[in-house]
């Protein structure tokens, strides 16, 4: 079998790695460097908090377990930072929502509770001033973050070591179904394979449309900043009112505003600079003096978010040679779903854990 994976972010590379491990000749197609899109510009948090479906929670929990397994096999455990998250809210309603979610997770067996009164917040987070936090923050110890770029490097090296993997630097333009396979037309020529997997985020919408299909993937642009090295080094991932931030190695801090921006145009450089200034102002609330720290990088990225916020994993309706893999929370889900989707592509096996996330659900909803 020959497979083409369109998209070289963590979703596409994870899928290609697992396909290659199964002995399938796999090419990853992308005009940009690996991880140069949403994988690089996002927050890269590995989380289970705030997801209402029990089945989706279990999928995400299994994804965190598999992250550890895969990191060990890649000799990449140093890139997996399971430091836990701290969360708090300014308002009574916000805190009630946090408490309800923490209770739901505890009932499922997660270690997710308010920081005990006997634990000093100053000792827990010495870089932060938490004196204005009126209630004890919620600590979710199972969560963390991934150092994405070097992790992708190790995943690519492991894929190449199979002898079944290659990269093609080109943009997929459209897809044609052939009697015995598929043809992917690119801006550099044409490629043929037995199957194509769409893992290119928001571009999957256009590629599915070229086949007469529909993948309702929304564009959620956002801005993250990376500070210059400083004395401020949060020990946990912090979800504070209006802002989330974490350490990013070498004394740097990575941060973004908490509010989302669904289906708006990507910000201009000027708008991104204004948002970066707002991020620094909000950070200074919790780390007084941080506003004097220079910004090292301002990143503009677009997150691909399926319209119902759940993953898309499976063949397009009526097309058994075109597989779709589009996930919000791609950093959390990509390794596990890469393995499961590769198993489905390489065999007749299907996984019940993915049944709720098939592309067919959108066609069903349209007819309802």
For residue range 210-253, list pLDDT tens digits in order. Answer: 999 889 999 999 999 999 999 999 999 999 999 999 999 899 99
CA-CA-CA-CA torsion sign (127, 133, 139, 144): negative
pLDDT grade, residue 90 (50/70/90)?
Answer: confident
Is a pLDDT exceeding 70 seen at residue 368? Answer: no
* Burial call 146-172: b when 16+ CB within 10 Å, e when fewer: bebeebbbbbbebbeebebbebbebeb
Look at residue 334 in the predicted model and tell me its pLDDT: 96
Is a pLDDT exceeding 90 seen at residue 177? Answer: yes
Residue 188: other Cβ atoms inside 10 A: 13
pLDDT grade, residue 263 (50/70/90)?
Answer: low
Look at residue 29 in the predicted model and tell me its pLDDT: 97
85 vs 35, higher pLDDT: 85
Residue 106: other Cβ atoms inside 10 A: 12
Is a pLDDT exceeding 90 seen at residue 26? Answer: yes
* Pick from 220, 230, 236: nearest CA to 253: 230
Instruction: Kindly report, residue by residue over 36-79, the tens digit of the pLDDT.
Output: 888 888 899 999 998 778 899 999 999 999 999 999 999 999 99
Look at residue 260 in the predicted model and tell me its pLDDT: 59
Please state the rounded mean pLDDT for residues 176-184: 95
Domain with CATH 3.50.50.60 in the chain: 2-65+148-216+307-367
Instruction: Kindly report, residue by residue over 282-334, the tens digit of the pLDDT.
Output: 999 999 999 999 999 999 988 999 999 999 999 999 999 999 999 988 999 99
List the structure tokens of 343: 């198993």
170 within 8 A of 31, measured Cβ to Cβ: yes
Instruction: Kindly report, residue by residue over 107-147, the tens digit of the pLDDT.
Output: 888 889 899 999 999 999 999 999 999 889 999 999 999 99
260 within 8 A of 205, measured Cβ to Cβ: no
Is a pLDDT exceeding 80 seen at residue 207? Answer: yes
pTM for the model: 0.94
> How much of the chain exceeds pLDDT 90, in percent?
82
CA distances from 279 to 44, 128, 230, 248, 259 (A): 17, 16, 16, 16, 11
Domain with CATH 3.30.9.10 in the chain: 83-144+220-304
Instruction: Tell me the average pLDDT of the chain.
Output: 93
User: Is CATH 3.50.50.60 correct for 83-144+220-304?
Assistant: no
Look at residue 41 in the predicted model and tell me its pLDDT: 84
Please state the rounded mean pLDDT for residues 153-158: 97
Query: Under CATH, what is the fold of the domain 2-65+148-216+307-367?
Result: FAD/NAD(P)-binding domain (3.50.50)
Is a pLDDT exceeding 70 seen at residue 103? Answer: yes
Instruction: For residue 277, give the H/E element and its range.
Output: helix 269-286
| Coil/strand/helix, residue 5 | strand
Look at residue 81 in the predicted model and tell me its pLDDT: 97
CA-CA-CA-CA torsion sign (200, 156, 227, 246): positive
């Amino acid at each position: 079998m020959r497979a083409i994976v369109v998209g070289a972010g963590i979703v596409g590379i994870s899928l290609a790695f697992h396909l290659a491990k199964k002995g399938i000749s796999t090419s990853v197609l992308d005009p940009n460097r690996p991880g140069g899109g949403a994988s690089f510009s996002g927050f890269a948090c590995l989380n289970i908090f705030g997801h209402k479906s029990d089945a989706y929670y279990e999928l995400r929990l299994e994804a965190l377990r598999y992250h550890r397994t895969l990191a060990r096999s890649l000799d990449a455990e140093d890139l997996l930072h399971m430091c836990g998250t701290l969360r708090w809210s300014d308002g009574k309603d916000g805190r009630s929502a946090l408490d309800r979610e923490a209770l739901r997770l505890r009932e499922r067996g997660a270690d997710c509770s308010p920081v005990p009164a006997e634990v000093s917040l100053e000792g827990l987070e010495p870089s932060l001033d938490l004196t204005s936090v009126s209630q004890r923050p919620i600590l979710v110890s199972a969560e963390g973050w991934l150092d994405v770029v070097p992790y992708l490097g190790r995943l690519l090296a492991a894929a190449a070591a199979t002898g079944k993997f290659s990269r093609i630097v080109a943009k997929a333009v459209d897809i044609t179904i052939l009697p015995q396979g598929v043809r992917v037309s690119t801006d550099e020529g044409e490629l043929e394979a037995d199957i194509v997997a769409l893992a290119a985020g928001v571009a999957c919408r256009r590629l599915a449309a070229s086949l007469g299909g529909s993948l309702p993937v929304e564009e959620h642009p956002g801005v993250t900043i990376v500070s210059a090295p400083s004395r401020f080094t949060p020990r946990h991932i912090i979800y504070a009112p209006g802002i989330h931030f974490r350490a990013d190695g070498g004394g740097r801090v990575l941060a973004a505003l908490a509010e989302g921006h669904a289906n708006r145009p990507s910000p201009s450089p000027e708008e991104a600079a204004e948002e970066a200034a707002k991020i620094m102002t909000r950070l200074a609330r919790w780390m007084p003096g941080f506003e004097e720290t220079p910004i090292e990088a301002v990143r503009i990225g677009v997150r691909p978010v399926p319209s119902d916020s759940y993953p898309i994993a499976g063949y397009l309706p009526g097309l058994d040679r075109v597989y779709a893999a589009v996930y919000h929370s791609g950093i959390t889900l990509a390794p596990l779903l890469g393995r499961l989707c590769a198993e489905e592509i390489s065999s007749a096996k299907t996984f019940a854990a993915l049944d709720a996330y098939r592309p067919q659900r959108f066609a069903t909803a349209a007819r309802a």
